Amino acid sequence: MQAKVHVKKGDTVLVASGKYKGRVGKVKAVLPKKMAVIVEGVNIVKKAVRVSPQHPQGGFVEQEAPLHASKVRPICPTCGKPTRVRKKFLEDGRKIRACAKCGGSLDVEE
């Protein structure tokens, strides 16, 4: 069974532990099978690439590597603090992700 990840693509998150503790960035991708997330500007690694049409020179490319999802905490758009995620049911029956500190919605309304 695949575990659910508490953050979604586009969320602003704070890295809570590890080498990049304290960094803030946007989630570029969520990998639920690995329980990992890729955050913009965090966990940069150098990858060797061969000569190809995309990389005519070859060499090394810097890119973001996945972080375990437990190391990041979403930042609440209402109170601006890193928080845990709670589930909340609205009057119309929808279930949303809510801030554990202020109760505000973490889901961005489109």
Q: Are 75 and 12 in contact (CB under 8 A)?
A: yes
Query: pLDDT at position 110, please?
Result: 40
82-100 pLDDT, tens digit per residue, is 999 998 898 888 888 998 8
pLDDT, mean over the chain = 90
Rg (CA), the chain: 17
Query: pLDDT at position 104, please?
Result: 84
Cβ burial, residue 47 (10 Å; 0-12/13-18/19+):
exposed
Q: Please measure the distance between the N-terminal and C-terminal CA atoms of the chain and give it in whole angstroms.
A: 30
Q: How far is CA 100 from CA 41, 73, 82, 103, in A?
A: 26, 11, 10, 6
